[in-house]
C-alpha cells in the first residue's frame, strides 16, 4: 500500500485534530497526582476531547474499552484504565487519540507522580529525548529504516532497549496507516524500503524497556509489558514533513 502524501489543507485538518490531543495530554499531566484514579483521568480526557468538537478515537478502536490508554508502571503501552488510585512514585503513560472532521490525531507522554526514582527519571527522559532526536534528524529523502536505526542507537546509548513488536505508524483519515515505523532496525540494510517525502504524516513513538525488549500482553488482552517485568516509558508525536523537515502537529 502506498504511503499517503497530504495536501496543505489536509495537514491543517490533521493539525486541528492533533492540537486537541496535545491539550488533552497537558490537562491529564496537570491532574495526574496522588489520589486521582485512572478512571477519573480517563473520564476527564474524554470530556475534554468531546468539548472541543472531537471524538476520542481510541474508544472502541479494535475493541478498546476507554478513551485514553493509561499505562501504569510496568505497563508500557495500551493500558486499560482501572479504579487504581495514583500514589507517590508511580510512573504513568497517557496515549490519546482524536478524530475531528474525518482526520485523526495521536500522541503520548509519560509522567512521574510526585518524587520518582532516578531510574524512572532516566526512563522517561530516554523516551522523550529519543522522540525529539528523531524529529530533529528527519529529512525528506531519508529511509524510514534509517530513522528506526537512529532511534534504536539513541535508546541503546542511554542503557535501555526498545520494545519489540510495536511501532510508530502513518496517520491521516485512519488512526493507523502505512508505514509501520519500528523503534529498531528490523532488516539488515537501513537504506532499504520506502523513503520519507514531503506531505507524509506519521507518528513516532519510542517505547522504552529497561533490560528486555520482548513484549507480552497481559490477561486483559491490552496491557503490554516487557518480559523483564520492569517499568517502561512511552512518548509520541504526530509529525508532518513540510519543506523537508518534520513539523510537530500534536502540540496545543
Q: End-to-end alpha-carbon separation of the chain, Å?
A: 31
Looking up cell 528506526 gives 148
Under the banding of pLDDT at 50, 70 and 90, the label for residue 228 is: very high
pLDDT at 91 > cutoff 70: yes
**Bridge partners (DSSP) listed for residue 77:** 224
Average pLDDT over residues 176-200: 97
Cell of residue 113, nine digits: 507522580
Give residue 153's pLDDT: 98
Give the percent of the chain with pLDDT over 90: 99
Phi/psi class of residue 152: alpha, beta or left (left: φ > 0; alpha: ψ in -120 to 50)? alpha
Please report the pLDDT score of residue 5 as a whole number.
Answer: 98
Segment 25-41 mean pLDDT: 98
Asked if 153 contacts 126 with a C-beta cutoff of 8 angstroms, the reply is no
Q: What is the pTM of this model?
A: 0.97
What does residue 137 show for φ and ψ, rounded to 5 degrees? -95, -10
Look at residue 1 and tell me whether its pLDDT is greater than 80: no
Domains of the chain: 8-80+87-248 (3.90.230.10)
The predicted pLDDT at position 240 comes to 98
Beta bridge partners of 204: 237
Nearest to 106 by CA among 228, 197, 238: 238
Mean pLDDT computed over every residue of the chain: 98
- DSSP secondary structure, the chain, as one string: -PPP---HHHHHHHHHHHHHHHHHHHHHHHH--TT-BHHHHHHHHHHHHHHTT-EETTTTGGG--SSEEEEETTEEE-PPP-SPBP-TT-EEEEEEEEEETTEEEEEEEEEE-SS--HHHHHHHHHHHHHHHHHHHH--TT-BHHHHHHHHHHHHHHTT-EEPSS-EEEE-SSSSSEEEEEESS--SS-TT-SPBP-TT-EEEE--EEESS---EEE-TTS--EEETT----EE-BEEEEEETTEEEE----
Question: How does strand 177-182 pair with strand 167-170?
Answer: antiparallel
Region of 141 (left: φ > 0; alpha: ψ -120 to 50; beta: rest) is left
Question: Which residue in 135, 139, 136 sits closest to 243, CA to CA?
Answer: 139
Q: What is the arithmetic mean of pLDDT over 121-137?
A: 98
Side-by-side strand order, sheet with 215-217: 75-77, 224-226, 215-217
**Residue 184 and residue 167: Cα distance in Å, rounded?**
9
Amino acid at each position: 500500500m502506498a504511503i499517503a502524501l497530504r495536501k496543505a489543507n489536509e495537514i491543517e485538518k490533521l493539525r486541528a485534530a492533533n492540537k486537541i490531543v496535545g491539550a488533552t495530554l497537558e490537562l491529564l499531566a496537570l491532574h495526574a497526582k496522588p489520589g486521582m484514579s485512572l478512571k477519573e483521568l480517563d473520564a476527564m480526557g474524554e470530556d475534554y476531547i468531546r468539548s472541543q468538537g472531537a471524538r476520542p478515537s481510541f474508544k472502541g478502536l479494535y475493541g478498546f474499552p476507554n478513551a485514553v490508554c493509561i499505562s501504569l508502571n510496568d505497563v508500557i503501552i495500551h493500558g486499560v484504565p482501572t479504579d487504581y488510585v495514583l500514589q507517590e512514585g508511580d510512573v504513568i503513560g497517557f496515549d490519546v487519540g482524536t478524530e475531528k472532521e474525518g482526520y485523526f490525531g495521536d500522541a503520548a507522554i509519560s509522567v512521574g507522580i510526585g518524587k520518582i526514582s532516578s531510574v524512572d527519571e532516566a526512563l522517561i527522559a530516554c523516551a522523550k529525548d529519543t522522540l525529539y532526536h528523531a524529529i530533529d534528524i528527519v529529512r525528506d529523502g531519508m529511509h524510514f529504516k534509517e530513522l528506526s536505526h537512529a532511534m534504536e542507537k539513541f535508546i541503546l546509548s542511554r542503557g535501555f532497549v526498545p520494545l519489540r513488536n510495536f511501532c510508530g505508524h502513518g496517520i491521516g483519515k485512519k488512526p493507523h496507516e502505512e508505514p509501520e515505523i519500528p523503534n529498531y532496525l528490523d532488516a539488515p540494510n537501513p537504506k532499504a524500503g520506502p523513503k520519507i517525502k514531503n506531505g507524509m504524516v506519521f507518528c513516532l513513538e519510542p517505547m522504552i524497556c529497561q533490560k528486555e525488549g520482548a513484549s507480552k500482553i497481559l490477561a486483559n488482552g491490552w496491557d503490554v509489558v516487557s518480559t523483564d517485568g520492569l517499568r517502561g516509558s512511552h512518548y509520541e508525536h504526530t509529525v508532518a514533513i513540510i519543506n523537508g523537515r518534520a513539523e510537530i502537529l500534536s502540540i496545543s
